[in-house]
Amino acid sequence: MPKTKSHKGLLKRIKITKTGKVRFGRPGSRHLKSNKTGEEVQGFRKKRYMRSGDKKRLEMLLHRPLRSQEEAMADKLAKARSKSAPSA
């Protein structure tokens, strides 16, 4: 059985963080900015994270498990709640 290969075009456009989240640049930020507001242009500088709707498709292309931004936030909240809860 041959090895599974990651989608090279996708790997050039994203960064997978240490925790498994996928970070990418915002679309529409390359040119034609003169008709956009300053707030929109500033927003293009920030990176975005993969949402849960894209998770299944990207996992198939990359052949590895990933975490969406929603999952990461839910884990963070659960961890904070477990720390703040008094132990019985």
Nearest CA among 43, 46, 6 for reference residue 25: 46
pLDDT-based confidence at residue 85 (cuts at 50, 70, 90)? confident
Give tens-digit pLDDT for 33-58: 999 999 999 999 999 999 999 999 99
Per-residue pLDDT band at 88 (split at 50, 70, 90): low
pLDDT at 87 over 70: no
- Give the predicted TM-score (pTM) of the model: 0.77
User: H or E segment at 52?
Assistant: none
How do the domains of the chain map onto residue ranges?
8-81
Per-residue model confidence (pLDDT) at position 83: 87
Average pLDDT of the residues in 22-31 = 92
SS3 of the chain: helix, strand, coil, percent, to 5: 45, 10, 45
